[in-house]
Amino acid sequence: MVNTSVQLSSLHLDNPVIPASGTFGFGYEFAELYDINILGSISLKGTTREPRFGNPTPRIAECTAGLINSVGLQNPGIDQVIEHEIPKLSECYSKPVIANISGFAIDEYVECCAKADKVDKIGMIELNISCPNVHNGGMSFGTSCQSAYDVTKAVREVTKKPLFVKLTPNAPNIAEIAAACEKAGADGISLINTLLGMRIDLRTRKPVIANVKGGFSGPAVFPVALRMVYEVYEAVDIPIMGMGGVSSAADVIEMMLAGASAVQVGAANLKDPYACKNIIEELPKEMEKLGIENLSDIIGGAH
Ligand code: SIN
């Protein structure tokens, strides 16, 4: 019997497979399809202080081996998430979850994280400084070392929960941003969020996405994400949650060899709601095939 469990900061996970924020709602929506307790954890829909309707439609553009989204952080706001969404999820999911906190100003991130800190069910905060679909805040915090440092440091002061910072690949040097977050007190790094992209409708000769640009994700970005996880692993001494185009158990193993302690699955959930279940079921077989007994032994093994 192979051992798929991993340690992610203070969280012990049965397996490293976690649905990525924004691709799995608040989790309970999937409980009617299968027993979601098989998941390592769940990263909840990106949450802001105020409720948000999100960007105008169309918000999605299909691409070869991926898609572009410009959802714009649609969510019911932190208070609703704490009062309604998390209790609903707790009815069908027994493990700690990851709160993905987004914002437009440091005080907003701080307020949301302080509220999340008081919720037992939240085992980890994923500070999202990488959303490419909002005009201020979001990704702009993740493209300079100073702003990444400032927001991480401010949030660190209001929570003792494990704090992972989710980074954008649209930064000049993601490894330097990761190091700045570590210096500010982050317990880990999540990467990568989506790559900025666009499509043009040949018939109308106008951008497909109402907001013009959006975040590109899916299997096409996997080699880019892998390269960035590899680089960040060499730049920091804190654990990494790797993501970006992961769609098979083999991808999970490759991501862990690059340096990830756990792996998030994003766009694959939009194509197939059973994607995480299939990957979790495949993982032991893939490990046996590759002669891996303990999954945690391979973290960073490619370095
Ligand atoms: C969105 O809601 O626009 C996507 C969230 C993200 O990319 O962080």
For 219-249, how does the pLDDT look when each residue is reduced to its tens digit (9 = 90+)? 999 999 999 999 999 999 999 999 999 999 9
298 pLDDT above the threshold of 90: yes
Q: Provide residues with CB under 6 Å of ligand 1.
A: 22, 46, 69, 71-73, 128, 130-131, 133, 193-194, 215
Q: Has residue 274 got a pLDDT over 80?
A: yes
Locate the ligand 1 atom nearest the alpha carbon of residue 128 and give its number.
8
For residue 287, report the distance from its CA to the centre of ligand 1, in Å.
32
User: Using one digit for the tens of pLDDT, what is the confidence trace for 184-211?
Assistant: 999 999 999 999 999 999 999 999 999 9
Residues of the chain above pLDDT 90, percent: 97
> How remote is the CA of residue 147 from the centroid of ligand 1, in Å?
19
Residue pair 93/37 in contact (Cβ under 8 Å)? The answer is yes
The 10s digit of each residue's pLDDT in 276-290 is 999 999 999 999 999
For range 110-116, the mean pLDDT:
98
| CA 19 – ligand 1 centroid, Å | 14
Q: What is the pLDDT of residue 138?
A: 80
Query: Which is the closest atom of ligand 1 to the Cα of 102?
Result: 8
Model pLDDT, residue 48? 98
Q: What is the pLDDT of residues 54-69, one digit of tens each?
A: 999 999 999 999 999 9
Active-site residue list? 131
**Distance between CA atoms of 99 and 82, rounded to whole angstroms?**
10
- pLDDT at res. 114: 98
* pLDDT score, position 140: 86
- Look at the chain and count its residues: 303
The values of phi and psi at residue 69, to 5°, are -120, 145
Residue nearest to atom 6 of ligand 1 (CA): 131
- pLDDT, position 137: 74
Mean pLDDT of 19-43: 98
The per-residue pLDDT of the chain, averaged, comes to 97
